[in-house]
Amino acid sequence: MKRRKCVVTKAVVLLVNSLLLLPARGNAGVSTGSQQNYRRPALTAPMLKQAPVVDGKVDRSEWQGAAQGLPLMDRFSGAMPEEKGVFQIGHDAAAPYVAFRLERPPYARQPGAEDRIEFFVHPESNGPDFTFILYPDGRKLEGLRTASADLGWECPWDGAVRVTETGWEGELRIPFTSLDRKSAPAAASTCIVTAVSKRSSTGSRRWGLMSSIASKLRPWGT
């Protein structure tokens, strides 16, 4: 499948920065997020004994030992949304791995064509935001955001998904070289990872930031 390039819009990046309470960069606005620690839990991304197969099927045996993030929270209220989400992360010497499971409400089990999961990776305090997006039909997008959008940026990474009886799930592998690193980060370094689930609905917030979770990884496991 031909890969399409993603333009990470200013609006999306500002929402994520607000959620993470990061300092404004460029023309960014003032953060409006709350400062509860549960909105950005600190996790240790462990070294996995064996790298998972990125085939879209989240096999529990493959992800044993991976760190698990907190459940999804509604960006507006901080409450648990109808959509349930589970996220796991780990790494080997060459790349971090991410798994996710999204369980949709009983009245809308099957994901829509424009539902998507977005991962914002911010490995340095003053570096760019790397964005990786997956759709339920297997489409993949990537984007890079600094002070302005890099329209031509692309990088190698693997992602696969599958639709389940209650929603959809998937896996990602992002080489450290695609995050401008030659190897795994040092044990004391920090990387902020934000997972954002966007799903279509019948309400006025069809394209709103429906639910999200932010995880601060510190330190990386060895």
Mean pLDDT, 10 residues at a time, over the chain (222 residues)? Answer: 39 27 24 42 81 96 88 70 84 92 88 86 76 92 73 85 95 93 74 80 30 40 36
In a domain, 170, yes or no: yes
DSSP symbols for 52-102: PP-SS---TTTTTT-EEPPPPEETTT-S--SSEEEEEEEE-SS-EEEEEEE
The whole-angstrom separation of Cα 105 and Cα 14 is 28
Give the single-character DSSP code of 185. P
The whole-angstrom separation of Cα 147 and Cα 160 is 30
In a domain, 121, yes or no: yes
In a domain, 56, yes or no: no
The residue range of the domain holding 122 is 68-222
Tokens standing for 33?
Answer: 């997020």
In a domain, 1, yes or no: no
Beta-sheet pairing, 4-5 with 140-145: parallel
In a domain, 166, yes or no: yes
The verdict on pTM exceeding 0.75 is no
Three-class secondary structure of residue 9 per DSSP: coil
Tokens standing for 158?
Answer: 């693997």
The whole-angstrom separation of Cα 118 and Cα 99 is 12
Give the single-character DSSP code of 13. H
Q: Domain holding 170: CATH number?
A: 2.60.40.1190
Single-letter residue type at 145 = R
In a domain, 73, yes or no: yes
Q: Which residues touch 202 (CB under 8 Å, ≥6 apart)?
A: none
Strand segments, DSSP code E, in the chain are 4-5, 42-45, 67-68, 73-74, 84-91, 96-103, 116-122, 129-134, 140-145, 149-150, 158-163, 167-173, 191-198, 211-220
Q: Residue 148 has what pLDDT?
A: 63
In a domain, 55, yes or no: no
In a domain, 37, yes or no: no
What is the count of structural domains for the chain? 1
